[in-house]
Amino acid sequence: MQDTLLLGPEGVKKTILHGGKGDIPKFITGAKVTFHFRTLLCDDERTVIDDSKVAGTPMEIVIGNMFKLDIWESLLSSMRIGEVAEFWCDTIHTGVYPLVSKSMRRIAEGKDPVDWHLHSCGMANMFAYHSLGYDDLDELMKEPKPLYFVLELLQVQQPSEYNRESWALSDEERLKVVPVLHGQGNKLYKQARYQDAAQKYKEAIICLKNVQTKEKSWEVPWMKLEKMANTLTLNYCQCLLRMEEFYEVIEHTSDIINQHPGVMKAFYLRGKAHVEVWNEAEARQDFSRVLDLDPGMKKAVKKELAVLNIWFKSHRQIVCYFFLF
């Protein structure tokens, strides 16, 4: 079947490659749509950019959930279950595709799709050029082009037909689930289940960061979310310390300190991490900053410095003994 149709949105053409079955499903807000996709350049070779079948996992989006590539909702809403269709989309619809593709590729590689420790809003990231980590996506970012999307609709589940994970929540629902995840993380931490606690904190941070990208940087709503995210990030770092992921602690606390140099707890946790990786000067500097920000931490800092002194005294003795031979 090769029917070429003009869809409602300007700059879109649809060609049905394989007809589906039944009526068009109800694509109501909250419905989860599962589909395969293939993205191609509009060149003579029809160069493939992404293919979910090659990645081995179909795509899932939730209708009305502010998916960055919103044109996909319109495309899918014209399809029947089992249908395969090719959509030509002009650049007015494809400008954000490199960002979406990056997230999907990171998921396929088993990585975190959201760089949640970066403290800048999503729109700023979009228009401030930096490498996405993939050469082909960098080219598309610098010079957006029309694209072909070949979609195969697999399933449409209504909101009551599936268990909604945090990524499938609306912004309002995300904000409601954050304190729940925070409390669960605290409880797991007290039980010494640090890996599980870290996962709860991380999920809460991602929820906040997704909401925060829709706010204007440094204004009151953004700052409120930032403060909540920083608190959770520091809890996450406490788990990382227990898990001996010291360099990651240094990375996340440094991100906070660079943006908010008055956060005492960030200096304290970074100082503890520096001790563990034998960065003596950096550790002492951080603990000194802790006392500047909160003199009430004198007892805790004194304890850490005592450990630091014993640690490095022993280290120097070992080094001297080694060179004797």
User: In the structure, what pLDDT confidence band is assigned to residue 65 with cuts at 50, 70 and 90?
Assistant: confident
Question: Between 300 and 311, where is the model more confident?
Answer: 300
- Right CATH number for 248-313 from 1.10.510.10, 3.40.50.300, 3.40.1190.10, 1.25.40.10? 1.25.40.10
Question: Between 308 and 215, where is the model more confident?
Answer: 215
Burial class (CB in 10 A: 0-12, 13-18, 19+), 323: exposed
pLDDT > 70: what percent of the chain?
A: 84
Question: Between 47 and 124, where is the model more confident?
Answer: 47
Q: Given a cut of 60, is residue 135 above it in pLDDT? A: yes
**Six-digit token pair at 28?**
């109501």
Looking at residue 158, what DSSP letter applies?
Answer: -
Looking at residue 164, what DSSP letter applies?
Answer: P
pLDDT > 90: what percent of the chain?
A: 58
Asked if 156 contacts 29 with a C-beta cutoff of 8 angstroms, the reply is no
| The pLDDT of residue 115 | 52
Which CATH class for the 3-161 domain? alpha beta
Q: Given a cut of 90, is residue 309 above it in pLDDT? A: no
C-alpha span between 205 and 208 (Å, rounded): 5
**What pTM does this model have?**
0.55
| Domain regions of the chain by residue span | 3-161, 165-243, 248-313
List, for residues 235-262, the tens digit of each pLDDT value. Answer: 999 999 999 999 999 999 999 999 999 9
| The pLDDT of residue 3 | 55
List, for residues 158-198, the tens digit of each pLDDT value. Answer: 887 876 666 667 788 788 889 999 999 999 999 999 999 99
User: In the structure, what pLDDT confidence band is assigned to residue 118 with cuts at 50, 70 and 90?
Assistant: very low
Average pLDDT, the chain: 85
- Bridge partners, 12 (sequence order): 89
C-alpha span between 238 and 22 (Å, rounded): 53
Whether the CA torsion 292, 294, 298, 303 is positive or negative: it is negative
Can you list the alpha helix ranges (DSSP code H) found in 109-262?
Answer: 122-127, 135-142, 171-190, 194-212, 220-242, 246-259
What would the CATH number be for the domain defined by 165-243? Answer: 1.25.40.10
Q: Do domains 3-161 and 165-243 have the same CATH topology?
A: no
Query: What would the mean pLDDT of 111-131 be, rounded to a whole number?
Result: 46
| The pLDDT of residue 168 | 62
